[in-house]
Amino acid sequence: MDRLDSITFDFRTVWISDIHLGTKDCKAKELLEFIKHCRAKKIYLVGDIIDGWALKKRWFWPQEHNDVIQKLLRQARKGTEVIFIPGNHDEFARQFCGLNFGGIQVRHDDVHVTADGKKLWVTHGDLYDNIMQYARWIAFIGDRAYTFALWLNRAFNRIRLKLNYPYWSLSQYLKHKVKAAVSCITAFEDLLIREAKIKQCDGVVCGHIHKAELRIIDHITYANDGDWVESMTALIENHDGSLQIIDWNEVGLINVLTEKETLTSIPSREEIKELS
């Protein structure tokens, strides 16, 4: 038995988004493992949990994707407060905002108060994406291009796996290197920071752009919890109110990025075995 199976990480709050259940690139198996090892008082599902766009084109729903939904419902039944904030890919759920399904609350957005009294505005972020709001046709074309890039990723990484090379993301590489993409991401962050100030919050937590980030911008905390398609990241709040980005990679190592941008780590499977 793997020693990691007996370890549980205790957090006050967990934010996850951009799971994209219903697509082949969803890291459902890894997400189930992450949830299995986490205990939290509150879980935020920050949009694009189910990919309605993809399911309209082609139905894809393996058992592991169903298991993710069941696992989250079970967490709610056990007393964890679970809040679902729909995004653009699961915008069909926005009509249910204000309702409760199996203990999961559906909201347009939310304001979370941390243990140390900071107010964090929680939103998926697509409503502050200029392309989504003013040129949705470009967003749909971009989604198709992104899907194609992920398909190339799968083929390319099958070869890398045979050669014992780690996973490498083409789409993330392009996002980080193409000036237009970097410019859009910066504009997105600036809009959210400005809106957080208007709402008199100390920070904003979002998803949408699949780029995990945790930093201070103009005295406001900007936190993006990343995704479970290209990476496996979540934002967590510790019991003292501090925030961290957790990267659950393919070998079970959790890398932790704090607001001060220092990198630490929780033991990997191999390190746990050595300690035992």
pLDDT tens digit string along 107-151?
Answer: 999 999 999 999 999 999 998 875 444 434 344 445 565 565 665
Annotate 114-134 with three-state secondary structure.
Answer: CCCCCEEEECCCHHHCHHHHH
Residue 227 resides in a domain: yes
CATH number of the structural domain spanning residue 29:
3.60.21.10
The domain of 222 spans 3-125+178-275
* Residue 40, in any domain of the structure: yes
Beta strands 9-16 and 38-45 are parallel
In what order do the strands lie in the sheet containing 9-16? Answer: 100-101, 104-106, 81-84, 38-45, 9-16, 233-237, 243-248, 254-258, 263-266
Residue 76: strand, helix, or coil: helix
Residue 168, in any domain of the structure? no
Residue 258 forms beta bridges with which residues?
Answer: 244
Q: What is the mean pLDDT of residues 27-56?
A: 94
* Residue 212 within a domain: yes
**What is the C-alpha to C-alpha distance for residues 30 and 26, in angstroms, rounded to an integer?**
9
Average pLDDT over residues 57-82: 96
Q: Is residue 157 part of a domain?
A: no
Q: What is the pLDDT of residue 151?
A: 58
pLDDT more than 70, % of the chain: 70
**Overall domain count for the chain:** 1
Q: Which amino acid is at 38?
A: C
Least confident window among 94-103, 120-129, 183-192, 255-264: 255-264
Q: What pTM, to 2 d.p., does this model score? A: 0.76
Selection from 69, 15, 22 nearest residue 44 by Cα:
15
**Is there a domain that residue 225 lies in?**
yes
Q: Are 130 and 139 in contact (CB under 8 A)?
A: no
Q: Which of 174 and 220 is assigned the larger pLDDT?
A: 220
- Which residue type is seen at 56? K
Residue 222: is its pLDDT beyond 70? yes
The chain-wide mean pLDDT, for the chain, equals 81
